[in-house]
Amino acid sequence: MVAAASVVVAVGTATGVLTALGDDGGGADEARPEVTRSPLPHPSPVAPSPSPSATPSASAPPSVSAPPSASAEKTSPGPSPRRKSGEEKPRTAATVSDRLYRHPRSRVLDWVRAHPGDPRQDVIESRIAGHPAAVWFADFTPATITSRVRAVTAGGAAEGRVPVLVPYAIPDRDCGGHSEGGAPGLDAYDDWIDRFAAGLGSGDVIVVLEPDSVAQADCLSAGERADRFASLARAGRALKDANPRARVYFDAGHSGWHAPAKQAGWLKQAGAASAASSDGVFSNVSNFHATADEVAYARAVLDALGGPASLGAVIDTSRNGNGAPPDGEWCDPAGRKLGRAPTLSTGLGRIDAYLWVKLPGESDGCKGAPGTFTPSYAYDLAR
């Protein structure tokens, strides 16, 4: 993404298999499940955001997971920067009292279970692993996508909780950048999204539809952009037709990227202003912009978008506790902190939820291998 690079990691069939690689005196610092494909974040003219992801595999339980990037330079935990005044401390899992679903398989949970004696384990478990996070579907596997989605939604329904799903397979999803991949064409994507929708079940579910797909559309020709937006509008309708209780949110980028009017114009073409396909917009996926900035930006986009008064916004608060770095750095920038805990109760009009769309601790590729859970990075974010 550049102004919002979404880093997605596709977890392979052996989601529970880890290889411990030490970076601090022999201690295991990197939990590296086998992966099928790892799209990466990349820099851009506008301060971007790398994004996280988890791709449930066909033969193993789904797993929540995150971002990749180019060269990785490991670092060990150092002193954490002082929290800025006015920033809210992230709440621990015990204080989260709403209905978001925490999937039982994720890279951070795998690491916590495998390292009971690690001195960082308690902090990482209580402040990161204990929170619900999104589950990403980033690989184009039509034959298994329905069953993999159904496994997550059925798990949420069994607990009476709301899963957050991220379909990430739009063709040319990163315009030739590091997060390359997706369906081979829009016809194939339309079929894939129909199969995705067939796994949604009948319970409450949130769908964060295709990070980067609207905000990064500058790289497409006018004709390609129109075709993509038509496909996204169709996707929103397919998801809501399959499960009327599904809440579908479209890509608004983030407050450091496009002006609200420009973003809203594209979103309208993509169907985000229609209740038949949309419940609103999402912002800050995998990025670091402060919650207050994202609230103001999301509301401005919604105002420019028009549409039903019921349209709202969800904001990724997974790593924005200290706001965005002043130099626009996007790859595991130092000094970042966890943001507000995931919740469906924000107390703010038109802001439907704070979500952890990117799983904190999954590296963009500088503090660990791209897309892998890196405990030293997670610990720095959580302290």
- Residue among 273, 274, 276, 377 at smallest CA distance from 331: 377
For 303-329, how does the pLDDT look when each residue is reduced to its tens digit (9 = 90+)? 999 999 999 999 999 999 999 999 989
Reduced to 3 states (helix: H, G, I; strand: E, B; else coil), residue 255 is coil
Which among 363, 341, 365 is positioned nearest to 353, based on CA atoms?
341
Instruction: Give the active site residue among 110, 172, 316, 364.
Output: 364
Dist. CA 244–CA 250, nearest whole Å:
17
Bridge partners, residue 165, by sequence? 135, 207
Q: Out of 139, 212, 279, 316, which one is annotated catalytic?
A: 212
- The residues near 314 (Cβ < 8 Å, ≥ 6 apart) are 206, 208, 249, 280, 281, 282, 283, 351, 352, 353, 354, 355
**CA 263 to chain CA mean position, Å:** 19
Q: Which pTM value belongs to this model?
A: 0.80
Give the pLDDT confidence score for residue 20 in this predicted structure: 22
187 is a catalytic site residue: no
Burial of residue 176 (number of CB atoms within 10 Å: 0-12, 13-18, 19+): exposed
pLDDT in tens, 150-182: 999 999 999 999 999 999 999 988 776 666 789
Q: Which helix (H) or strand (E) holds 309?
A: none
- pLDDT at 50 exceeding the cut of 70: no
For residues 288-313, one letter each, b for 16 or more C-beta atoms within 10 angstroms of the residue's C-beta and e for the rest, the string is bbbbebbbebbbbbbebbebeeebbb
Of 23, 139, 172, 174, the active-site residue reads 174
SS3 329: coil
Which pLDDT score is estimated for 179?
66
β-sheet bridge partners, residue 251: 282
- Note if 212 is an active site residue: yes
DSSP element (H, E) containing 158: helix 142-159
Distance CA 298, CA 68 (A): 27
pLDDT 10s digits, 73-109: 222 233 333 333 333 333 333 333 479 999 998 999 9
